[in-house]
């Protein structure tokens, strides 16, 4: 049964050592028949948590309008 794999690359440089390791892991996951996707965090706008607590009474949804919502959807929902 195929799995869904999400790779989060936090490397500061595209093509750097950590990013290359992510690519190799991604390749292996795909070769094993899994569905795989890589998100390069450097290309995303992610704000710091303000500690406002709104998410606790808002079904876990943050009020900030950034790319984190998209990433969380992919982490918790099917790709």
Consecutive H or E run containing 23: helix 17-31
Q: Would you place residue 79 in the very low, low, confident or very high pLDDT band (cuts 50, 70, 90)?
A: very low
- Rounded to whole angstroms, the Cα distance separating 42 from 56 reads 27
For 67, the token pair is: 């790319």
User: Is the model more confident about 39 or about 73?
Assistant: 39
Task: Kindly report the average pLDDT of the chain as a whole number.
Answer: 90
- Rounded to whole angstroms, the Cα distance separating 35 from 27 reads 10
Consecutive H or E run containing 43: none
Q: Which residues contact 75 (CB under 8 A, 6 or more apart)?
A: 6
Which residue range(s) make up the domain with 23?
4-76
CATH number of the domain at 49, please. Answer: 3.40.50
Number of compact structural domains in the chain: 1
Proportion of the chain above pLDDT 70, given as a percent: 96
Would you say residue 11 has pLDDT above 80? yes
Taking only the tens place, the pLDDT of each residue in 13-33 is 888 999 999 999 999 999 999
- Rounded to whole angstroms, the Cα distance separating 19 from 61 reads 29
Average pLDDT over residues 54-76: 88
């Amino acid at each position: 049964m195929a799995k869904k794999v999400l790779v989060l690359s936090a490397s500061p440089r595209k093509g750097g050592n950590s990013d290359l390791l992510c690519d190799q892991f991604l390749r292996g996951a795909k070769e094993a028949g899994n569905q795989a996707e890589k998100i390069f965090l450097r290309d995303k706008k992610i704000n710091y948590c303000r500690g406002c607590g709104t998410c606790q009474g808002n079904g876990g949804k943050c009020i900030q309008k950034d790319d984190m919502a998209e990433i969380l959807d992919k982490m918790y929902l099917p790709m």
